[in-house]
């Protein structure tokens, strides 16, 4: 368990909890502990879904600018790939992942949220990619995942202006999936992924792989990828249980295998 990021597990749901007051700034230590927590959540078969949460006051307000301010090109060239890989480890968790966003999700914090499958956002939260105001650009997925999520024109507006996006706009453009009062954010995130805790884990993994992998392919390649994953599920126990339950008109009891 990390000092600033920990993976808490309860009833099949893992919570990757950021805990670096006051703003959960993503310094090198937090970055590497996020990576470690994501890898642990991936490897632990008892974890069937994941919530990424920064606490009641803030999700993550960005990178640690004080740490970055003295870095040279050589320094950042060495670190940038590691930062992207740390958030990429979250994106590659083969289980449903939701960001529970309170307060601010800015810069690297917004990029962390973008690495999740869904975003539950407090009604008073602010999201954005303000890096342009520092003379740089997002470096851990902000130009790529944001454009894929909300479209290139909206992504350019957000990234080039560096402005903050409120919860209502985030919901309207697809940056947020649910908006609730701040006090309800974590509970709503748990409720969103709760149905997956007892679901067919191998089929859920395959569905994520099909969708995420297919986005990087042309249509014909994506269809072939989907077909391959579809056929492979016929080797799983859950496929047999799911079809037997359908024929027998009962609720399936999935084992995750």
Q: Is 177 helix (H, G, I), strand (E, B) or coil?
A: coil
Which listed residue (33, 40, 111, 226) is catalytic?
Answer: 111
Contact by Cβ (8 Å): 236, 202: yes
Contact by Cβ (8 Å): 47, 82: no
Which listed residue (108, 128, 139, 199) is catalytic?
Answer: 108
> What single string gives the DSSP state of each residue in 120-183?
EEETT-EEE-GGGGGT----SSTTTHHHHHH-HHHHHHHHHH--EEEHHHHHHHTS-SEEE-GG
Quote the DSSP letter at residue 250. S
**Quick check: is 213 catalytic?**
no
Roughly how many angstroms between the first and final C-alpha of the chain, as a whole number?
Answer: 27
**Quick check: is 131 catalytic?**
yes
Q: For the chain, how are helix, strand and coil distributed in percent, rounded to 5?
A: 50, 15, 30
Q: At what angle do helices 28-43 and 73-91 cross, to 10 degrees?
A: 30
Which listed residue (40, 131, 188, 226) is catalytic?
Answer: 131
Tell me whether strands 97-101 and 49-53 are parallel, antiparallel or unpaired. Answer: parallel
63: CB partners within 8 A, 6+ apart = 25, 26, 27, 83, 107, 108
**Quick check: is 108 catalytic?**
yes
Catalytic residues: 63, 108, 111, 131
């Amino acid at each position: 368990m990390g000092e600033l990021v920990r993976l808490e597990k309860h009833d099949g749901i893992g919570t990757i909890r950021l805990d670096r007051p006051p703003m959960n700034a993503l310094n090198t230590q937090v970055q590497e502990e996020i990576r470690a927590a994501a890898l642990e959540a991936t490897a632990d078969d008892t974890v069937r879904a994941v919530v990424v949460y920064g606490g009641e006051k803030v999700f993550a307000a960005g990178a640690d600018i004080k740490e970055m301010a003295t870095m040279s090109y050589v320094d950042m060239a060495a670190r940038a790939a590691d930062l992207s890989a740390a958030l990429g480890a979250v994106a590659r968790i083969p289980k449903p992942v939701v960001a529970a966003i309170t307060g601010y999700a800015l810069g690297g914090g917004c990029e962390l949220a973008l690495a999740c499958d869904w975003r539950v956002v407090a009604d008073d939260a602010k999201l954005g990619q303000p890096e342009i105001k520092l003379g740089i650009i997002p470096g851990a997925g902000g130009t790529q995942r944001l454009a894929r999520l909300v479209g290139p024109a909206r992504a350019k507006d957000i990234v080039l202006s560096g402005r903050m996006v409120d919860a209502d706009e985030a919901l309207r453009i697809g940056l947020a999936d649910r908006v609730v009062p701040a006090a309800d954010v974590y509970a709503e995130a748990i409720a969103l992924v709760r149905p997956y805790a007892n679901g067919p884990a191998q089929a859920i993994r395959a569905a994520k792989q099909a969708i995420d992998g297919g986005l990087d392919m042309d249509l014909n390649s994506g269809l072939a990828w989907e077909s391959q994953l579809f056929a492979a599920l016929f080797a799983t126990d859950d496929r047999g249980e799911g079809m037997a339950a359908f024929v027998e008109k009962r609720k399936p009891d999935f084992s995750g295998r």
